[in-house]
């Protein structure tokens, strides 16, 4: 399927093997799993699927192997309505695989990943026209290809949203081209140890971001923009698995950008989608539609805590 996209994303596609365990295993322990699920994942992939479920038209730029897992990734993205015309296969290579242990009690997870064996997308494999019609570009890493796409997006007035898959030192060359960095607390603490999330969001904003966000899991998100600095709480849900909550937040925030909403509405909407995605095992199982999100928000409306 080829369409004019609202959102283009470049980054990782994986196949996740998720196992629910009663607790995280000890060394050399033999433990029986409570549940098992195989599901496509990856930062770019899940963020675009989240946005597509909400109603956005999305296109992914990524590489998969020509193995059975690569075909599984492609067919699932097509089923979700994501444009896969730039999902490239490399002959003889193996697709990205992750094993995810999910703690039954908390829903927290630990991830073990086997990177893909194929080459990264190169600048020669992309062109400016790949962004035609798009309003948002999603990136997760600083590579020659993402830098080129982000530069083209900046020239075209396309908003660039970042979910960093690598540490600050590796992402730094990309940050000056990013309009909306949405970073997890763990990444923020690795970059600026001991700093509160509000300070990290402020630092990203001062460095040139239009909107800077540090996501905090069940504690919500710290958001800095030209109207101030606010902590937006998470929506309470019964957590089954936190896998993909951040991806859901990114997808929802990109969808909200397309709507032109004010910042508080965007932040609360993204928070609701991230929370709702924790209701089931896997990064995509509980991704909601827009109508589901709106009903959920009406039932459990929350307001921001102002920090300035």
* pLDDT reported for residue 109: 84
Nearest-5° Cα angle at 86, 246 to 6:
55
pLDDT band at residue 182 under the 50/70/90 scheme: very high
Q: Which of 135, 5, 11 is nearest to 73 (CA)?
A: 11
- Give start and end residues of each alpha helix (H) in 104-196: 144-156, 168-175, 185-191
Average pLDDT, rounded, for the chain: 93
Residues 94-136: pLDDT tens digits? 999 999 998 998 888 899 999 999 899 999 999 999 999 999 9
Query: How far apart are alpha carbons 26 and 46 in whole angstroms?
Result: 30
Question: Domains in the chain, please, with CATH?
Answer: 7-25+33-306 (3.40.1190.20)
Task: Find the range with the poorest average confidence among 7-16, 111-120, 217-226.
Answer: 111-120
What angle separates helix 168-175 from helix 144-156, to the nearest 10 degrees? 30
* pLDDT reported for residue 200: 98
* pLDDT reported for residue 85: 96
The residue assigned the tokens 């990064």 is 283
- Is the torsion defined by CA of 125, 129, 116, 162 positive or negative? positive
Query: How far apart are alpha carbons 186 and 164 in whole angstroms?
Result: 11
Task: Kindly tell me if the per-residue pLDDT of 242 is higher than 60.
Answer: yes
* pLDDT reported for residue 305: 44
Task: Kindly tell me if the per-residue pLDDT of 192 is higher than 80.
Answer: yes
* pLDDT reported for residue 302: 55
Task: Kindly tell me if the per-residue pLDDT of 301 is higher than 90.
Answer: no
Q: Which residue would you say has higher pLDDT here, 307 or 79?
A: 79
pLDDT band at residue 2 under the 50/70/90 scheme: low
* pLDDT reported for residue 308: 33
Residues 26-58: pLDDT tens digits? 999 999 999 999 999 999 999 999 999 999 999
């Amino acid at each position: 399927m080829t369409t004019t996209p609202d959102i283009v994303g470049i980054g990782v596609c994986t196949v996740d093997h998720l196992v629910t365990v009663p607790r995280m295993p000890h060394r050399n322990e033999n433990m029986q799993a409570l549940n098992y699920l195989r599901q496509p994942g990856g930062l770019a992939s899940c963020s675009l699927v989240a946005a597509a479920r909400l109603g956005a038209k999305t296109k992914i730029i990524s590489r998969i192997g020509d193995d059975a897992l690569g075909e599984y990734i492609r067919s699932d993205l097509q089923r979700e309505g994501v444009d896969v015309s730039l999902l490239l296969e490399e002959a003889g290579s193996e697709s990205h695989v992750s094993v995810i242990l999910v703690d039954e009690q908390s829903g927290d997870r630990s991830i073990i990943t086997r990177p893909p064996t194929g080459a990264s997308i190169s600048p020669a494999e992309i062109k400016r026209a790949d962004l035609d019609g798009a309003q948002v570009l999603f990136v997760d890493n600083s590579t020659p290809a993402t830098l080129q796409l982000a530069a083209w997006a900046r020239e075209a007035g396309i908003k660039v949203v970042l979910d960093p898959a690598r540490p600050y030192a590796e992402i730094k060359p990309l940050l000056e081209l990013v309009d909306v960095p949405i970073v997890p607390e763990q990444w923020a603490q690795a970059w600026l140890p001991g700093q509160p999330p509000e300070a990290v969001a402020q630092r990203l904003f001062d460095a040139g971001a239009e909107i800077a966000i540090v996501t905090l899991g069940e504690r919500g998100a710290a958001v800095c923009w030209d109207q101030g600095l606010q902590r937006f709480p998470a929506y309470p849900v019964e957590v089954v698995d936190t896998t993909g909550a951040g991806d859901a937040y990114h997808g929802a925030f990109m969808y909200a950008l397309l709507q032109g909403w004010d910042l508080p509405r965007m932040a609360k909407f993204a928070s609701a989608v991230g929370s709702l995605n924790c209701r089931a095992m896997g990064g995509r199982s509980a991704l909601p539609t827009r109508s589901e999100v709106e009903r959920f928000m009406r039932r459990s409306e929350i307001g921001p805590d102002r920090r300035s």
